[in-house]
Amino acid sequence: MKIIITGVTRGLGHALTAEFIRLGHTVIGCGRGSEGIFDLRMKYGAPHSFDVVDVSNATKVGMWGARALAFGETPNLLINNAALMNTPAPLWKVPAEEFANLVNVNITGVANVIREFVPAMVAAQKGVIVNMSSGWGRGVSPEVAPYCASKWAIEGLTQALAKELPEGMAAVPLNPCATDTDMLRQCCGEDAARYPKAEAWARVAAPFILQLGPKDNGLSLSIPTFES
């Protein structure tokens, strides 16, 4: 299976990449950190491919998409995973630039990636688009209003996309559930340590994602409970 995934240099994206490759799938990934991309290139050779891409930049996403689609088959699975978390603060104290950067990555970035890859998937009338949501895309907490807003948007965007896809495809907003990552530590501090590590999460999440199909189109799903 050919899998496109964003945000592969750390956290859940990095763990998913390793697990998908371990299971024998081909991963085409991107991330904003050049050092992390270099490490992935050194660890995983062809047919896997990794590029430095800022998903909020439509031109750069377009260049990446053109390269990724130029060789090989149409992707079977597209995972929009790249996202930013705001520094915890009441909404009125979040700087305008920080708010804008978060929205540009978490919402506009998802649309940019969909614009580049989904037309080929639609033409082939196959494939699953997974847009990473959050428990904060279905509920809220104080001091993370920008992140909540972005993930509520992902829920609506994905469910609308699901109604636009041809039969045989699926779009799913997926709540990964709490995992001990840098992002969770940014808002929860040391409390994040009580949740499973990303590697343990990926051992459950990857098989769950791989079994998604047309039957799941438009459903708001969550990774099932797992043990660390």
Active site residues: 147
Residue 228: inside a domain:
no
**Domain annotation covers residue 142:** yes
Helical pair 109-124 and 58-70, crossing angle rounded to 10 deg: 30
Residue 74 lies in a domain: yes
What's the pTM? Answer: 0.93
Residue 76's domain is classified under what CATH number?
Answer: 3.40.50.720
The pLDDT score that the predictor gives to residue 176 is 93
- Local structure of 92: helix, strand or coil: helix
Domain count, the chain: 1
> Per residue in 96-108, pLDDT tens?
999 999 999 999 9
Residues 6+ away with beta carbon under 8 Å from 155: 133, 137, 138, 173, 220
Bigger pLDDT: 95 vs 200: 95
- The pLDDT tens digits of the residues spanning 24-80 come to 999 999 999 999 999 999 999 999 999 999 999 999 999 999 999 987 789 999 999
